[in-house]
Structure 1
Amino acid sequence: MKRPKLKKASKRMSCSKRFKIQKKVREHRRKVRKEAKKKGGNRKPKRDITIPNDAPFKEDILREAEQRKQRVSVLKVLFP
């Protein structure tokens, strides 16, 4: 409520009203998180492994990683 001869109203509110607002916000955020979990979105794609150039047997490690990736893609096609 704006008081006479003042430029703006007070920002004061009762504790019960403030706590009620906090509770509503908390419940809403919880509901949104729960829905997001059900959808299963926002997963980060796995990055390729990085191997330093001076590592011994770098080509072998990269070849094995590529074979593993191909195996996984074949399994995804066979068993969706």
Structure 2
Amino acid sequence: MKPEKIQIKTDYIQLGQFLKLANIVDSGGSVKYFLNDYAVFVNGDQDQRRGKKLYPGDIIEVEEVGQFQIVKE
């Protein structure tokens, strides 16, 4: 399965911002609760930090949601 591509204009995006951009959560306030309830993997390693920096080429896998890849616009 090919990951869905999520485009960013900046050099990186934080995990919390990514979850909003990918329409996985509705608001920044719900990010913390989402990360408590669902496993998120960045390049195969589990990471639940909202401030984790994601760079173009990174693969993010969200439990029960899908797989995404960061690409620079």
Same fold (TM over 0.5): no
Question: What TM-score, normalized to structure 2?
Answer: 0.22
Q: Which has the higher strand share?
A: 2
Q: Which has the higher helix share?
A: 1
Select the structure with the greater relative contact order (CA < 8 A; seq sep ≥ 6). Answer: 2
Looking at CA atoms only, which structure, 1 or 2, has the larger radius of gyration? 1
